[in-house]
Structure 1
Amino acid sequence: MLFRVLAAVILCCLFSSNSFSDTSSPKGWERIFPQATSIGEKESNPPVWPVYQAFDKIGYVFHSIDYVTIPAFSGEPVDMLVGLDLDGQFTGVELIEHREPIFLHGLGEKPLIDFIRQYEGLGIRDNVKVGSGTSTTGTYIDGITKATVSVVVINQSIVLSALAVARQKLSGFEAPADVKVKSEYYEQLSLEQLQEENYLQNLRLTESEIQTHLYDYRQNACPECEHAVDLKFGYLNVPSIGRVLLGDSDFERLQKTLEPDEHAVVLLSNGDYSFIDLDFVPASVPDRVSIDQRGFPIEIRDLNFFDVFDPQTSILNDASDVKVFSIKPQTGFNPASEWNLLLNISAGNPVLYTVENYQFMANYSLPKKFFDEIEIISDGFSEQPLWVGLWESKRFQIIVLLISLAALTVIFARQHQLVKNPKRFHAIRWGFLTFTLIYIGWYAQGQLSIVNIYPILQSFTQGFNLETYLMDPIIFILWLYVFISLFIVGRGLFCGWLCPFGALQEMVSWFAKKLKIKQYRIKPALHNKLTWMKYAILIGLVLTSFYSVEVAEVWSEVEPFKTSITLHFVRTWPFVVYAIFLLGCGLFIHKFYCRYVCPLGAGLAVLGWFHPVKWLKRRSECGTPCTLCYHKCEIKAIKQSGEIDYKECIQCLECIVYHNNDDLCPPQKVKIRKQAKRKKAESLIPATAVEVI
C-alpha cells in the first residue's frame, strides 16, 4: 500500500513539473539544468528562457544564434543552446544545428560534442580560449585538430552570446561605460531654456498626422486637447535637467533610488493619446513606449516613483500622465550618444482582427559638457574581429607560406634559366613538392577544395562577406595567390606545384616507376573523352550547391582531399578505400585523378582559360617532325601537333627542360650536328681554293 502511495505521489510530481513547462521550450534544456523543475516562457528582450527550481529562478537558457552569427568554416553560423546560471557560470551547452563539413562528413559529431562539454563549470569571467597555453587573462580548453576555424568560431559564439545575456540579465556584468554624468556640474536653467535646448524633447502629433499612417485612428479621449499626442521626455541623471523637472527634493530622492550606473528618464503626457494604457501595471515594462539606441532596443521599467509622493514641480503636476522609467546598466545604454523614443499607436478593431500598429519616433541627444569621459578597463573580451586573432595565432605558418610562395614565383619567373641544369631543377621541384605535401597539406591544412568555392557561389544570392574567407589565413592566402596566377599562367601553377594531393600522386607515380610497374598509355581518342568527365562533375556539383549546399558537400567527397590530406587517412574505411583506390590508379596511369576526376582542377581550368602569358616555348619543329615532348608529357597536355593544351597542363616544366637543353632537344641536336658538319667542311677547304674562288 505504501509503495502505491509513493508511486502516485511521484507520478503527480512529474506531471505537475511537466505542466509548468512551456510547450515551446527548447529541446535539451533539461540536460543543461538537470536540477530544474520548470522552464518559463521565452522572453523577447533579450530572447531567453528563464529556468526555475520550484519557484526560484536559477538561470537562463538561450540560442547562441539569437545573439551571434559569426560564419564558421562552412560560411554559416553554428547554433547552440547555452545554459547560464545567475552567477554567470555555464551549466551546459547543447549542439542544435551546424553545417561544418569536417564534422558532418569527416570526424563525425562526437569530437564536437566532447568539445562543447568542456564549458560546463566554466564561467564568462574565465574568458575561455581555445588552444594550449597559460594566461592570467583567460582559461584554455582543448581544441580539435583539423577543425581550428570551426571550434574557434564556436567558442566565440558561446562566450559572446553568454556575455550579451549576462550584460542584460545578470548583476555585475554591465558593459563598460565610456562616459559618466558630471554630478557636480550644474547650470541654472529655466523650463523654457530646457525646451529651447531640446533637453526636454517633445513629440507632438495631430490626429491627421497619425491618420496618415493609421487610417482607422479615432481616439477622442480628450476633445479639448490641441494634439492627439503631446509627449515630453528628458534624461534625469544630469543635475541641470533633473533638478528643473523634478525639483531639488525629488531629484535627491531619485539619486538614492537609482542603483550605481542606473539611468532614469521622465515621460509626461498631456495629449489625447497617453503613453500608458489602462491595463498598465506599475513597476513593469510599458507596451506603448520604448527606447532604442544604435538600432538596439533598450529596456525601460517603471520606477513607480510617484506612487506615494506627488510631483513637486508644476510641469509634472499639470501633466495628465507622468512616469519615471529606469534603464539598467546591463543594457549598455550610453546617455552621451543619441537615442530614440518610440511611441507605438494602434488603430482598428481587435474583434475583427484589423488592428494596425505604427511606431512614431523622436530622437534625443545631449551635449558632451554634461559628461566626463572615463577610461574603459578591459573586461577580457576582445572587440577585434575574430579573424584577426586567427591570423595572429598562425603567424609562423603564414610567414613560412609567404616565403614559399615568393620562392615559387621566382622559380616560375626564372624557369628558363633553372632548367638549363636538369639535375638542379629536378631537385628543386621534388623539394617543393615534398614541402607542399608535408607542410602545406598535412601540417598547415592548406589543401584547397571545391568546397571552398561554395561560399563564393552562395555570395551571389546571399551577399558577400569577406570575413567568411578571412577565417582561415592559409586557405585565404593560397586562394588569393592561385586566383591571381590563374589569369597570368593558368591552372598549372596550383595543380603542378601547390596541390598536396597532386604532389602525393606524383610521388606515387615516381614510386611506381622505381618498382618498374607497367604504365598504361590511354589512347588519345579515349583520353580526350575522359578529360571531359571532370567538367561534368564540376557542373553537377555547382548546380547542386545552388539547390542544397549540404547535398553538394556530401557529393564533394568525390575529392579524396579530406581523407588523405586533412584527416591523414584516419577515417571510416569506405573513404580510405576510395582514396587508396585513386592513388592505386596512379600507379598505372600517371595522375589519374587530376586528369579525369578532379572538379577543382576543372574549375581552375575554366577560370584560367584566357590567361595571357604563354610561358612554355615551342619550336617550329615541335609536332612536325619532332614528337618527343608529346610522348614525354605524362599528363598528355601536349598535342601531337606540338601545341600545348593549357587547360590540362600542370606546368611541371619538363617540356622546358627538353626545350632548353641542346643535348635533349632533337631539333637542336640536329641543328648542332649540321652546324658542326658545316664547320668541319669549311675547315677542310684549302685556303688557296678559297683565294681562287
Structure 2
Amino acid sequence: MASTLWRPLAVWLLTLLACLVFLPARAGVMDGASMKQAFPLPLVVGEKDKALPVWPIYKQEATETILVGYAFESIDLAPLPGFSGVPVNLLVLLDAQGGFRDVRVLSQHEPVFLDGLGPEPLEKFVAQYKGLNLKQHVKIDSRAKSAGQDASANVIIDGVAKATASVRIVNQSLMSSALAVARAKMGFAEGRDPSLIGRIREDVFEPLDFNALQRAELVTRQTLRNRDVEAAFAGSVGEGQDEEARRNPGGLFTEWMVLHLNVPTVGRNILTEKGWRYLKTWIEPGDHAFLVATRGRYSFVGEDYQGGAVPTRLTLSQGGLPIELRDLDVDDKIRLPEDWRGADVHWKVFKVISQASLDPTQPMKFALSVTREKGLILPEKVRKEFEMEIQLPEDYAIPSGNEQQSWKTSWTGRKLDLSVLAVGLALLTVMLARPAWLVRDERRMRWVRNAYLLYTLGFIGWFAQGQLSIVNLTGILQAIVNGRSLGFLLYDPMTVLLWGYAALTFFVWGRGTFCGWLCPFGALQDLISQLAGYLGVYKKWKRRAVPRVWDRRLKGVKYVVLAVIVALALIPGSNLVDSAVEVEPFKTAITLAFVRSWPFVVWAVAMVLLSVFVYKGYCRYLCPLGATMAILGRARLLRWIPRRVECGQPCQTCRHRCAYQAIEPQGQIDYNECFQCMDCVAIHDSDTRCAPLISARKGQTIPIRTIKEQVA
C-alpha cells in the first residue's frame, strides 16, 4: 500500500497547493473599536492612516492634544513567518521618539508556545521591549544573568532557552515593523533595518600610494578657512569672537580627512603590515574602523579630551541616527603625505561596534563641531557643525540584499554546535559509504551504532534542539499559501543543516539515513528497546513481528496522517493544523524533554513504550515526517544493500532478522521502509551468520522452496 500511495498523494498535494497558493495573505485584526479598547482614556485613538496601517495615539492635556505615538500590528508591516508558517502578530505602541511604549502578543502559532512551553514565556519576552528605543541595538541572550543595558547604547534582553529561533523571528518582525513606522512617521526617513546592511569586500586589495587613494575616492577631505567658520557664526553671539579669524580671514582654520580602514586597499596602504594585523585582531565582524586626521590650528581633539572617551568635537551619523565613536589605540606609523607630519597634525583611529549596524554601502556623515561663547560669568554658547559626507565606492563593498537577514546572528552564535554537528555528519557519511570495517564485527557494530544513537539523542536532540518535524513542512506550505518568504527557516541553523544533509542522502541511500541514524526520537525508541531487552522484559513478554499483511496495511497509515496534516495546513485561516501536528511526540519528548502537560506526556510515553513491543511502531506506522521522508527518499539512485541470488530464494535469514520488516519474501529490499540499520549488510558479509556463506564453507546446498512455501 505504501508503494502505491505516494503517486496519487503527490498529485493531490500539488493540485491542492496550486489552487490555494494565490490566496491573499492574512492581515491585521484590529479595528477602531478594538484599538480604543486596547488604549483606553486618557489616551485617544485617532483615525487610521490611509497610507500606512498605523493609528495615531493622542493624549489630551488641558486644551492641548499631544501626540503620544503610533499603534500598529506587526503583521501589517513585517509579516515574517514563524515555524508554523504563520507570523506572530504583535500590537505595538511606538512613541514619537522611537521608544516602545507597549508591546503585546495578539496572536501566535509557534509550536513551542502553543501547548509546549505555553504562551507565557513569549508574553514575558515581548514585555521586555517596553522602555527600549529603536536607537538601541537589541541583542537576545537566553542567559538571564546577562540581561540589561551594557556600557553603550545597546541593550541585552533575556531570550527563551528552548525557543531561541522563534524569539529571534519575533524580534526581527518587531524591529522591522517599528522601523518602517519610524521611517515614515518620525523623521527616520533614511534609517535602515539593522539586519539589512552591506559589508566590506575583504577580497579586494590594490597597493596604492596616498595620491592614488585620493583618485580612487577612498580619502574624503575638507578644508575650512577662517572666513568659512566666521560665516557660519554670522548673526549669532559667536560672531566676531575669533580674533585670529578677524586678522587673517584667508588663513587655514583646519583641514580634516577621514579614511575607512576596514577597506583592505585603505587599511593595508595606510597602516604598516604590523598595524594592519593589530587592527584586524581588535575589530569583530560588523565593526568598523576610521582614521580621522586634522591639521591646522583647530583639531578634533579638544583640550579636555581623554583617551577611550566619546569625542565631543567629532560625531558620526547615518540615516539620521547617531552612531557612537570610540578611539582605538593603534600604536603604528601612519603613512600620510609629507605635508601632514607637522606639530599641528593630529590623528586617531576610531571604532564603531557591530551593534551600531553601520552600513558601509550607504552615505555616512562625519561632523566637526566648533563652539564659541560670549560672556565671562554665565557665558552664552553656540555651536556650529561642519559636515562631511563619506560614500564608499561601489567596488569596495557588497550592498545589502533582501535575504541578508538577522538570521546570521543565529548562525554565528552557534558556531560550536554546528561544528560538532558537521563532524558527526561527516563521520556518519564515512561509516555508511564504507561500511565494511563497521559490519565486520557484530560487537563493534553494536557499540558504534549505539554510541551514535546516544549522540543523536543527547546532542542533536536534547542539547542542540535539532529534531526535524512535520512542522517544518507545514510551516513551508503555509508560508507559500500566504505568499510569504521562506527566510524564517534560516533562523534555525541546526534544522537547515540537517534538512540539507537529509536531502543529499535521499539521492544516495533514501529515507533511512535520517530515520535510522539522525532522528532523536527514533534514537530514543531504539535505545529504550535495547534497554528493555537488557532488563529482561522480553523474557516475560516476547516481542513478535506484526503479521506481514497487517504490517503492509499499517505502514500506509502514516501517509493518511500526512495527507490530513497537509490538507489542514493549506486551509486559509484554520488553526486545526496546530492540533493535528501533535500526533508527533517529538516536541514533548525531545524539545521539551517531557516537561509538559500530562496528556502530551502520556502520548509521548505511550509511543516510546510501543517500540518496546512493536519495534519502532510509531516510526513505521504513524509518523507523518517518516511518510514525507519515504516520499522524498524515492529520489534514491542506488540499490546500495548487497544481495545474492540466494537471498529470498531460498535464504530468509535477513528477512526474519529485519526488525523493520523491510525485506520482501523474494529478498528485495523495500527502501521506502528501510531504516539503514545495516544488520542485513552485516549478515550478508558474515560467514557465520549468512546461510549461503555457511553452506558454501561446509560444501552444502540449501534446499530451494517456492515463495508460497516460504511465506507460509
TM-score bucket (shorter structure):
0.5 to 0.7
Q: How does 1:221-300 map to 2 (within 5 A)?
A: none
Q: Which stretch of the first structure deviates more once superposed, 161-170 or 624-633?
A: 161-170
- Partner in structure 2 of residue 599 of structure 1: 624
- Partner in structure 1 of residue 514 of structure 2: 494
Within 2, Cα distance between the matches of 1:662 and 1:652?
Answer: 19
Letter in 1 for 2:545: R
- Partner in structure 2 of residue 97 of structure 1: 107
Identity of aligned residues (%): 42
Cα distance change of structure 1 residues 28 and 577 upon mapping to structure 2, 3 Å threshold: farther
Letter in 2 for 1:580: V
Q: How does 1:403-552 map to 2 (within 5 A)?
A: 403-458=423-478, 461-462=481-482, 465-517=485-537, 518-548=542-572, 550-552=575-577
Say whether the 8 Å CA contact 2:81–2:479 is kept in structure 1: no
Of the three residues 151, 162, 168, the one matched with 2:178 is 162
- Partner in structure 2 of residue 50 of structure 1: 56
Query: How much has 1:624 moved relative to structure 2?
Result: 2.9
Aligned-partner SS, 1:147 = helix
Query: How much has 1:526 moved relative to structure 2?
Result: 1.7
- Partner in structure 2 of residue 183 of structure 1: none
Within 1, Cα distance between the matches of 2:590 and 2:536?
Answer: 27
- Partner in structure 2 of residue 147 of structure 1: 163
Letter in 2 for 1:103: F
Query: How much has 1:455 moved relative to structure 2?
Result: 3.6
Cα distance change of structure 1 residues 176 and 145 upon mapping to structure 2, 3 Å threshold: closer
Letter in 2 for 1:526: W
Cα distance change of structure 1 residues 637 and 564 upon mapping to structure 2, 3 Å threshold: same
Within 2, Cα distance between the matches of 1:668 and 1:172?
Answer: 78
Cα distance change of structure 1 residues 429 and 135 upon mapping to structure 2, 3 Å threshold: farther
Q: Which stretch of the first structure deviates more once superposed, 641-650 or 573-582?
A: 641-650
Within 2, Cα distance between the matches of 1:462 and 1:37?
Answer: 35
Aligned-partner SS, 1:562 = helix
- Partner in structure 2 of residue 113 of structure 1: 123
Aligned residues: 466
Say whether the 8 Å CA contact 2:56–2:71 is kept in structure 1: yes
Within 2, Cα distance between the matches of 1:24 and 1:637?
Answer: 57
Say whether the 8 Å CA contact 1:411–1:418 is kept in structure 2: yes
- Partner in structure 1 of residue 73 of structure 2: 63
Query: How much has 1:38 moved relative to structure 2?
Result: 1.6
TM-score norm. by structure 1 comes to 0.62
Say whether the 8 Å CA contact 1:622–1:642 is kept in structure 2: yes
- Partner in structure 2 of residue 670 of structure 1: 695
Within 2, Cα distance between the matches of 1:30 and 1:411?
Answer: 62
Aligned-partner SS, 2:449 = helix
Query: How much has 1:89 moved relative to structure 2?
Result: 2.3
| 1:41 maps to 2:47 | yes
Within 2, Cα distance between the matches of 1:150 and 1:122?
Answer: 20
TM-score norm. by structure 2 comes to 0.61
For residues 104-134 of structure 1, the C-alpha deviation after alignment (integer angstroms, 9 at most, x for no partner) is 2322211111111111222222322211456
Within 2, Cα distance between the matches of 1:74 and 1:466?
Answer: 11
What is the aligned-residue RMSD (CA, Å)?
3.3
| 1:138 maps to 2:148 | no
Query: How much has 1:626 moved relative to structure 2?
Result: 2.2
- Partner in structure 1 of residue 654 of structure 2: 629
- Partner in structure 2 of residue 220 of structure 1: none
Q: Which runs of 5+ in 2 are unaligned?
A: 1-29, 194-230, 236-318, 322-361, 363-386, 393-399, 701-712
Of the three residues 28, 34, 50, the one matched with 1:27 is 34
Cα distance change of structure 1 residues 499 and 29 upon mapping to structure 2, 3 Å threshold: farther
Query: How much has 1:470 moved relative to structure 2?
Result: 1.8
Say whether the 8 Å CA contact 1:28–1:94 is kept in structure 2: no
Say whether the 8 Å CA contact 1:544–1:552 is kept in structure 2: yes
Within 2, Cα distance between the matches of 1:48 and 1:502?
Answer: 48
Within 1, Cα distance between the matches of 2:570 and 2:401?
Answer: 36
Q: Which runs of 5+ in 1 are unaligned?
A: 1-22, 178-251, 257-328, 332-336, 338-370, 676-693
Letter in 1 for 2:159: G
| 1:652 maps to 2:652 | no
Within 2, Cα distance between the matches of 1:551 and 1:631?
Answer: 41
Say whether the 8 Å CA contact 2:49–2:55 is kept in structure 1: yes
- Partner in structure 2 of residue 227 of structure 1: none
**The structure with more radius of gyration:** 1
Within 2, Cα distance between the matches of 1:29 and 1:389?
Answer: 38
For residues 423-480 of structure 1, the C-alpha deviation after alignment (integer angstroms, 9 at most, x for no partner) is 2222221111111111111111111111111244346655573413322111111111
Query: How much has 1:174 moved relative to structure 2?
Result: 6.0
Within 1, Cα distance between the matches of 2:114 and 2:547?
Answer: 40
More RCO (CA 8 Å, sep 6+): 2
Query: How much has 1:25 moved relative to structure 2?
Result: 2.9
